[in-house]
A and B are shown apart, each in its own frame.
Chain A
């Protein structure tokens, strides 16, 4: 028994550090007016109840929990391999299931029925509203970013810009901005949908043509820079955009085509179905794109741009195309938000939103459409729950702490995501086994 071996003691140290960090994360918050040690003091010295039995300082509780975890880990260490094998079976389950065509179709049908009937089960309008605003729109955004990051391998840190374009186009054309609508003639919100999508795509081309010559982290920082420029611009040009306060009220969609009368009020249910329809359309379009000539070109560029160019693929053209296609669903997300929320403010499109969408894509599995949709549902449900119920002393602003931790943990332990795309999963497995040397591997020596 090597209970007190050096490696095992090192593990104890690591576990205790992690529990200390968790204690800090979940502890009492400090503030800018309180003395700087308030947070520390509250996180470690505050007396808490131990499962209702007796009270003791927090640090003792976390220390004990850490030691218990360590003992359990140490005891099960010899059997680790067997456990891991079992865990792999569980992890492989979704893959096994989706491998058969019939189960796949059955799963999709069940999911579709559930999703269509969902507003019938949810009685409170507030929750339907939240489902559209927090889950539906974010699925759209994640699907769009997935084309850029997952298919074409371009790290875009300014994706919220497309979202903003869609929303501000809506506000502008419906006459909710200080800048008068086109021809001084506001149009109904539903008509803005195609215009908003096209506007976002055009913007994607405009943004992509100069920037997409850059690679990797340079591209990431330029997209980030552009997003910040747009944010600054929107906030400073209050005469055009309404500035930091945002737009006036965007009217609810109403339409009169003679045979079709549409008048949506505050009930979010029609928005739900509209959103659902467009999610389905985007999933179908993106899936067929993925398996088309264009999709294969994206994969080729992602894997090795030089090689792709040498076989006659114009990288810039296809990268710009990825930007434009991804922008389409981002733009529609913006139109949805503007129509549903009714007010467009710069706060809806911050850098944090870009990162949040990126998290959805990575968590779900880069390049896997169903994975990304599932990731968006899981994470957005969790954050909506946390925001609305605030359990265990959770605060609204703490969200990005957990998101940051989640990103690191995902990258270390499951970089391919929840439901990885088959190709990506194989790439990560290859890299881990050291089977082939990636052209973009860090520290591989030959930098392009």
Chain B
């Protein structure tokens, strides 16, 4: 099998199963987008990458998984029950993750901010928090084993067919839920008093504090908002793939790539970047050598490196890269 044949067969696969790849890409992209928003919001107010954000996502996934397992047991959900469960999972996952994110801020960020620590110190304490949470989850729920949620839908349940391609209920529900939440987050940041505070701190923390914005509170709220979105994303992700103690590292890097690609600090950019990374990851699957999925990972990281080197401000990022 020649190299040329390899590429051609890749395109061939995309040609025959375009809509499936598209649906999977959007489903993953929705999850990345929701996590990326958390990265971007925190970057906006603190000018820092929250390395522990992937773990926040993972905690939400676990919370959602245990909720559906507790409610459903061995049964299979259906009808309104499924919808209620999904809403419940989103709420519980979001709440747990918001709490974790708040804890991370209180423990790993606030004391350092009080002491005017240099930037490197923040990165290191965030890495510490990330390791701590990830390993504690491993200790409680097992290392490296995927834990699946209860069956909210019948496996392989199909919502409708699109140009002859069956689209799974799970896929469409995830995409819709994600879009709704992203729109809500966008509205919160753009059109409410809270959001105005966040945007003010992003632009100029000192001046905004002179104007009466409570910086500490705004930062906490930013972490909570980002954490809630990540937790909901964690639940949606777990419905498809299950959740594992170290899911945060890998998915977190994809989401971070998305935030950078869209222009870090920019909420809509993060959403767009998330969708693009999801689609990219899905459409490169046929181009994995020997069917090894790790190749899509390599492609995605290459994108990250290229974006950072060629255009570090991303697609929608402004020159300063600090507008939320």
Contacts and interface: CB of A to CB of B under 8 A. Distances in A.
Interface residues of B, number: 67
Interface string A26-61: 000111110010011000000000000000000000
A392 B302 CA distance: 44
A216 B62 CA distance: 32
A313 B123 CA distance: 27
B6 interface: no
Residue of B129, B132, B290 with highest tally of chain A CB at under 10 A: B132
A405 B127 CA distance: 10
B179 interface: no
A87 interface: no
B131 A39 contact: no
A217 B48 contact: yes
A395 B138 CA distance: 11
B295 A408 contact: no
A40 B140 contact: yes
A308 B44 CA distance: 27
B309 A32 contact: no
B128 A217 contact: no
A434 B116 contact: yes
Given A221-B49, A222-B308, A407-B125, A24 B136 contact: yes
A286 to B, nearest CB: 20
Given A214-B312, A395-B139, A443-B46, A225 B301 contact: yes
Contacts of A362: 124
Contacts of B134: 400, 404
Contact of A442 (B122, B142, B298, B322): B122
Interface in A352-396: 355, 358, 362, 366, 395
Say whether chain A's binding surface is mostly helix, strand, loop, or mixed. helix
Say whether chain B's binding surface is mostly helix, strand, loop, or mixed. helix
B117 A407 contact: no
Interface stretch (B80-88, B106-114, B267-275, B278-286): B106-114
Interface stretch (A123-131, A228-236, A259-267, A276-284): A228-236
A236 B294 contact: yes
B305 A222 contact: yes
B161 interface: no
A174 to B, nearest CB: 27
A117 interface: no
B186 interface: no
A415 B47 contact: no
A332 B48 CA distance: 34
Contact of A214 (B205, B297, B309): B309
A404 B132 contact: yes
Interface in B49-88: 49, 62, 66, 69
Residue of A216, A225, A447 with highest tally of chain B CB at under 10 A: A225
A96 interface: no
Contact of B130 (A32, A229, A404, A431): A404
Q: What's the interface size class on A, roughly?
A: 35 or more
B135 A400 contact: yes
B204 interface: yes
B52 to A, nearest CB: 9
Interface string A202-224: 00000000110110111011101
A447 B206 contact: no
B128 A405 contact: yes
A445 interface: yes
Contacts of B141: 30-32, 36, 39
Contacts of A220: 49, 123
17 contacts: A24-B136, A25-B136, A30-B139, A32-B142, A36-B69, A216-B123, A225-B253, A232-B297, A408-B107, A408-B125, A410-B124, A428-B117, A431-B115, A431-B118, A440-B120, A445-B204, A447-B320
10 residue pairs, one from A and one from B, having the closest CB atoms: A407-B128, A32-B142, A404-B132, A404-B131, A32-B145, A401-B135, A39-B140, A411-B125, A408-B128, A225-B301
Interface of A: 24-25, 29-33, 36, 39-40, 149, 153, 155, 210-211, 213-214, 216-218, 220-222, 224-226, 228-229, 232-233, 235-236, 351, 355, 358, 362, 366, 395, 397-401, 403-408, 410-412, 415, 427-428, 431-432, 434, 438, 440-445, 447
Given A211-B309, A447-B322, 6 more contacts: A220-B123, A221-B308, A226-B301, A401-B139, A408-B132, A445-B204
